[in-house]
Structure 1
Amino acid sequence: MNRNEFFKLYGLTIALLVTQLSVAHAAPSDSQHLHRPVAIESIGQRLVVANRDSGSLALIDLPKDQVVTAFTAKLADRISDIATIGDEEIFVADPAENQILHVRLHGNTATVQERVSVPASPVRLSRSSNGDFLVVACHWARQLVLLEVDRFGSQTPCTLDLDFSPRELLFANDSELIVTDAFGGRIAIVDIGKRSVVADVEIPGHNIRGLTFEPKTGRLMLAHQLINGFLPNSRDHVFWGNVVTNLMRYVEVDKIQAAVKRKRIHGAIYPLGQERDGAGDPGPVLATLSGHVVSLLSGVNQIGIRQPDDREFVRISVGRGPSAVCEIPNGLGQFQDCVAVANRFDDSVSIVDLNQPAVVKTVWLSSDATLSDVARGEMLFHDASLSLDGWFSCASCHTDGHSCDELNDNLGDNTFGEPKRVLSLLGVAQTSPWAWNGGQTQLVDQIRKSMKLTMQSEEQRKIDEDEVFAIAAYLRTLDFAPGIDAARSVHGNQTGSLKVDETQANLVREGKTIFHNANCVECHAYDAFTSGVVQNVGLADLPDLELSPPSLRGVSQRRAWLHDGRAKSLRDVFATAKHQSVDFTRRELDALVAYLRSL
């Protein structure tokens, strides 16, 4: 079978506008406001949908062939994920308040029972199969939080530090948890009983968003992207998927367990895209009890479905921005093998029959919500159709608005041949001029240039200026990431509420003095910690290189440093790459790194 035969596209969609039930202490969806569903789970004969922006849950009843929906009251400022235990208990992650909520359902009413404060940015929840443990991934804090369900509100949360930002979580068994990198290709196995990392490997790739076990073989399946930093971002390389490739990777779990620390492993790969049909931004992956595998292709508004005895994925269209999927255990009416897909960018849930395969119902969470420029900009930022043949979106490289920290050889600096590290867009409104060479003084000009030359947008359609300005409006809302140590000092919504380590605080103050005395402020002035003009980089092997200094706000949240990614730690920036001509002592380096980690 050749590569073109791997994919078939079906387009059957039957839309059903559902009735919204009024609920005690809850208002139905305001048509002017978006819900933005980001998580979905099945409990009994209903679906629970977590709405990021409205901070509510949508409860979808599935009796026989009818679908009715009710909305709970606002439970949280924002919701990033949910985990259910039984038919009534739901745990909700609130990244705005840095809390985990224990919620109990009574009919169509949800009541918050308890709240537990956690470090900054809880993004994922996972429960052990026996229901004893709940694990929280806090990605800016680079920590896991382990909670015993029976003592949820009466315990001091146990935290486990990681040296990468965690995101996807999957229990291998009741005592071992698989954790993947939010930005890069790291995979770790955590022993829950020992509260320690027992395996740590890396795959070639970034943006791991799908994680499950393959039916029958038990191999780990990872949906992710792979950026090739040493090929020019030319039209031909984008067309063939050589710049950003979308993959399903299969890895034997015992290979991870046996590997030495940070060993790079490969496994087997399956391409999710092909020429003229790129499959941008692979998302969550689900293996069903019937043996089907469902892979969300979030950037192209599709899902791939693999039948139990097949290896190819058949692609069908769903709603805009599919972001979460769950199995409907008993099917829906005549359709026996069904999944529900939450579509973030059009406030809908697609009910999919896996055997046809086709969308058989669409549940609308809001009917006529009005998109602001910011909301439209976020949608476009995650839209792979802006690139040639749908290979990648803005978010493919600028993950969560941040950075995958890989190299890319594009024309941002007006030349090929010198690949540079992808810059973070967090706080981008405060970091003009833009591009590594500081060549753009207007943010909209930088966006337009990236769409035209990096994404090769114009081959398929003329660039829409309204879209450029909408993306700019969205980017201006993005704030800097917190430093790792700052994120770890957050407890709930109270910054610095944990006991202050005076020794560490003194080291940070000492580092700030060194930063000032070494004249780092010439290029990284306070507030935004950048200068607004190009500066000499100060590298021994590149004495004449001038670049626009990136902001140091959130600098500890990177995986590689300097324009070419040569430094693999903050310490390496000075000790190995020799940024600055000063020979710092060990103590001075400790202090300087501590200060940078606090920014």
Structure 2
Amino acid sequence: MKDHGRSTWISLALGIVAVVATLAIGGRRSSAGGPESPDSRAKVQAEVHRSPVALALSADGRRLLTANQTAGTVSLVDAGSAKVLDEIATGDRPAGVAISADGRRGAVAHWYGYDLAVLEIQNDKLRVVGRLEVGPEPRGVALSRDGKTAFVAVGVADEVARVDLDKLAVTGRLAVGKEPRSLALSPDESLLVVDNARSQNVTVIDAASFTVKKTVSVEGDNLRQVAVAPDGRFAYLANMRARGFAVTKNNIDLGWVLGQRLTRVDLKEAEPFATISLDAQGKAAADAHGVAISPDGKLLAVGLGGSHEVMLFRTDRRRLPWRIDGSRDLIPQELLNGDGRFRRVTLGGRPTELAFAPDGKTLYVANYLADSVQVVDAESARLVETIALGAPETVSLARQGEILFHDAARSFNQWYSCNTCHSDGHTNGLHYDTLNDGRQDLRNVHERSRKKSPTLRGVAKTAPWTWHGWQTSLEEACVESFTKSMQGPKPTHDETRAVVAYLETLEYPKNPYRAADGIASAKVERGKAVYRSAKAACNTCHGGPELTDGKIHSTGLEEPDDAYEGYNPPSLRGVYDKYPYLHDARSPTLRDALTGPHSAEITGGGALTEQELSDLIAYLKTL
């Protein structure tokens, strides 16, 4: 088993090392927001991973843009010659990219930069010509065909921002679901479709009036890329479905713990959502991320980062077996009979976003861990070309850990990866019934046996680990996760060191609730006093530089059959984005956490007044 684990990650590591390329770049560095001087153009360091997480294809299929997350750059690719024409530094962790129909303008959203950069594409060169802040943690971006209007999914604000790119101004903000991730315009640009990663729904927006037309529940989790069919009738998205059963090998392989889905939403009629389950027993799918539909509507593609593949579905032979208003446990058996409606293409690395070329058969795949754009012939279901974007000659220990973190082959029958629950090193807000807390509910009747998937940001600084705090070694905690939570092979010592090295790189984004000038409001100052007061005494457990004391406490939330006594207080850093709250995710908001069953323990000096509670919440959001 150890030999199998070692060979898996070594082969993956070797497979992602791309050809090193030194590419011309440029990027505006003016804090005033004006275009950057041409004299400031420089060279990208070869020793950096590009990690393309998103891509956009021009209407004629000639030019590609990629958002290179770890490099902080955007690459311009000639699709015909499969060559990188230019690369430009744009900002902190680009996450979404779009291109106008004529291929002359692009836009890129920066996840950690909180801004949108406008790109000029001329003479096969890129230039940043404008920039504006759009809100905390923007991800997806969609661009009107004329390149004048951008729509941006602003994740932490739970809204979509509409931007006039000529005036560099936000012209509207619209509340949607929790953590919007991806968005797409219908072909006639009448509708904007947004999927919301943490609220299990899709928001359909009337683009002209910029109002919500309808919200569709899809009973799905980890919603990622969304695409609209050529006729504008349906939207398709890639997502996961958490089922909640105890993590045992039998439950995993029956699809009762979690599974991957292709989900369809009717944009015109009131029909409920529909799904196709993607998991085959014994060889599951993992981490559905990308989705694309060919211009003629005959082919649907789904990218699966955890199982390192693309799945292809044909719609023009026999009707696909959509399940209305629900999900099957496993992929429909009829798709496995070899009639050509379903095929799998192994790619390696971590496929993320997808785009079909105008010819209806060429599929472009952004491959994050392979530092490349891959070209798949969807008719023959073959990988035909790999366009290297640039990467180091050697893979660092942390990058090796990142590969393992995203590798579902390290779980039983490749059902999920570390990233499945700890999305992007953070949390997907869900709770699971694993053995890490020493007990499981095999009958699936006691929800309190489930534990919330905590963020891994700053995890290396917050010993001990697990909700009960029984684990005092991060290395051993990793081993427990691979062997118990994932029911996979035990990692080697070197593999464990690599995962820890990757975890040590995970940090928080800047806090949107902190004043830019560093001066706290009167309300926040009052909340800080409440936090430290004898009445609330929050700092008794949540003190020190990481806002946790590393000790075990009685919290008033104990269960009679807990295997361990007490709970380990989580760090309150970035608590504004750690919802739902408490170990079993019972509290959807900070207010609920502060006034529910836990409140008797945290307010031993008496109940907080409404003013004190409001002030305390305001202060907590700044931590």
- When normalised by structure 1's length, the TM-score is 0.84
Distance in 1, Cα, partners of 2:191 & 2:511? 29
More deviation, 563-572/193-202: 193-202
Q: How does 1:473-492 map to 2 (within 5 A)?
A: 473-480=501-508, 485-486=513-514
Q: Which residue in 1 is equivalent to 2:257?
A: 243
Distance in 2 between the 1:355 and 1:156 partners? 42
Alignment partners' CA distance in 2, 1:24 and 1:443? 39
Amino acid at match of 2:73: S
Q: Which amino acid aligns with 2:64?
A: L
In structure 1, give the amino acid aligned to 2:500: A
Q: How far did residue 215 of structure 1 move? A: 5.8
Match 1:553 to one of 567, 573, 585 = 573
Q: Superposed, which structure 2 residues align to 1:207-286 within 5 Å?
A: 207-214=222-229, 218-229=233-244, 231-253=245-267, 267-286=273-292
Distance change >3 Å, CA 94–CA 578, structure 1 → 2: closer
Unmatched runs of 5 consecutive residues or more in structure 2: 1-15, 27-40, 321-340, 442-448
Moved more, 241-250 or 443-452: 241-250
- The residue aligned with 2:293 is 287
Aligned match of 2:74: 57
1:469 to 2:484 alignment: no
Deviation string 1:286-342 (CA, Å, 9 cap, x unpaired) is 011122111101111100111231524311112411112222224xxxxx6211112
**Structure 1: which 5+ runs fail to align?**
1-14, 259-264, 331-335, 490-494
Letter in 1 for 2:314: Q
1:89 matches 2:105: yes
CA deviation vs aligned residue, 1:348-367 (integer Å, no higher than 9, x gap): 22211111121122222237
Counterpart position of 1:302: 309
Matched, 1:374 2:398: yes
Distance 1:22 1:223 in 2: 33
After TM superposition, give the deviation of residue 421 of structure 1 in Å: 1.4
Find the aligned partners of 1:101 and 1:195 in 2 and give their Cα distance.
22
Give 1:396's aligned amino acid. Answer: T
Give the aligned partner of residue 445 of structure 2. none
Alpha-carbon spacing, 1:185–1:55, altered in 2? closer, same or farther (3 Å): same
| 2:57 paired residue number | 42
Match of 1:67 in 2: 82
Opposite residue 581 of structure 2, the aligned amino acid is W
In 2, the alpha carbon distance for the partners of 1:532 and 1:355 equals 56
Shift of 1:31: 4.9
| Total equivalences in the alignment | 553
Residues 366/160 of structure 1: CA separation in 2 closer, same or farther (3 Å cut): same
- Residues 185 and 202, structure 1, Cα contact 8 Å, conserved in 2: yes
Are residues 573 and 344 of structure 1, via their aligned partners in 2, closer, same or farther at CA, if it must alter by over 3 Å? same
Q: Distance in 2 between matches of 1:139 and 1:512?
A: 27
Please name the residue that 2:160 is paired with.
Answer: 144
AA matched with 2:189: D
Is 1:573 paired with 2:601? no
Q: Deviations over 1:531-587 (max 9, x none)?
A: 201111134988996111111112221332112222122111133435235322222
Structure 1 equivalent of residue 344 of structure 2: 315
Give the equivalent residue in structure 1 for 2:11: none
CA contact (8 A) 2:349 2:368 kept: yes
Q: Does 1:456 align with 2:487?
A: yes
Q: Is the 8 A contact 1:18 1:69 kept in 2?
A: no
What is the percentage of aligned positions where both structures have the same residue?
A: 28
Alignment of 1:424-573 (within 5 A): 424-458=455-489, 462-480=490-508, 485-486=513-514, 495-496=516-517, 505-517=521-533, 518-539=536-557, 546-573=566-593
Q: Check conservation: 2:524, 2:616, Cα contact below 8 A.
A: yes
The equivalences for 1:87-166 within 5 A come to 87-129=103-145, 131-152=147-168, 155=169, 158-161=172-175, 164-166=178-180
Distance in 1, Cα, partners of 2:25 & 2:402: 33
Distance 2:223 2:256 in 1: 18
Structure 1, residues 461-518: CA drift from partner, whole Å, max 9, x if none? x5222221111111112123555634xx6xxxxx359xx9x8xx22222222222221
SS, match of residue 570 in structure 2 = coil
Q: Does the aligned pair in 1 maintain the 2:259–2:279 contact within 8 Å?
A: yes
Secondary structure of the residue that 1:380 maps to in structure 2? helix
CA distance in 2, matches of 1:128, 1:107: 22
- Tell me whether 336-345 or 290-299 shows the greater mean CA deviation: 336-345
1: CA distance between counterparts of 2:494 and 2:509? 28
What is the identity, as a one-letter code, of the residue corresponding to 1:239? D
* Post-superposition offset of 1:527: 2.7
Which residue matches 1:11?
none
Kept after mapping to 2: 8 A contact 1:483/1:553: no
Q: Which moved more, 1:43-52 or 1:435-444?
A: 43-52
How has the CA–CA distance of structure 1 residues 18 and 456 changed in structure 2, closer, same or farther, with 3 Å as cutoff? closer
Please provide the CA RMSD for this pair.
3.1
- C-alpha displacement of 1:168: 1.0
Contact 1:220 1:252 in 2 (8 A): yes
State which of 28, 32, 39 in structure 1 corresponds to 2:47: 32
Q: Which has the higher contact order (CA 8 A, sep 6+)?
A: 1
Instruction: Give CA deviations for 1:167-192 in whole Å, capped at 9, x if unaligned.
Output: 11122463542222234413223455
- Secondary structure of 2:363 counterpart: strand
Distance 2:48 2:256 in 1: 39
Go from structure 1 to structure 2 and tell me whether the alpha carbon gap of 1:160 and 1:509 turns closer, same or farther (over 3 Å shift). Answer: farther
C-alpha displacement at 1:597, in angstroms? 2.1
CA–CA separation in structure 2 for the residues paired with 1:294 and 1:533 = 48
Give distance in 2, aligned partners of 1:406 and 1:163: 16
Which amino acid in 2 is paired with 1:42? L
Structure 2 distance, partners of 1:562, 1:584, is 19
- 1:57, distance to aligned residue in structure 2 (A): 3.3
**Matching of residue 188 in structure 1 with residue 203 in structure 2:** yes
- Residues 1:415 and 2:439 are matched in the alignment: yes
Give the drift of 1:51. Answer: 2.0
Aligned pairs for 1:372-411 within 5 A: 372-411=396-435
Structure 1 residues 411, 24: CA separation in 2 closer, same or farther (over 3 Å shift)? closer
Question: CA 1:176/1:589 → structure 2, altered by over 3 Å: closer, same or farther?
Answer: farther
Instruction: Report the Cα offset of residue 451 of structure 1.
Output: 0.2
Which region of structure 1 is more displaced relative to structure 2, 465-474 or 49-58? Answer: 49-58
Q: 1:243 to 1:88 in 2, by over 3 A?
A: same
Is residue 326 of structure 1 aligned with residue 341 of structure 2?
A: no
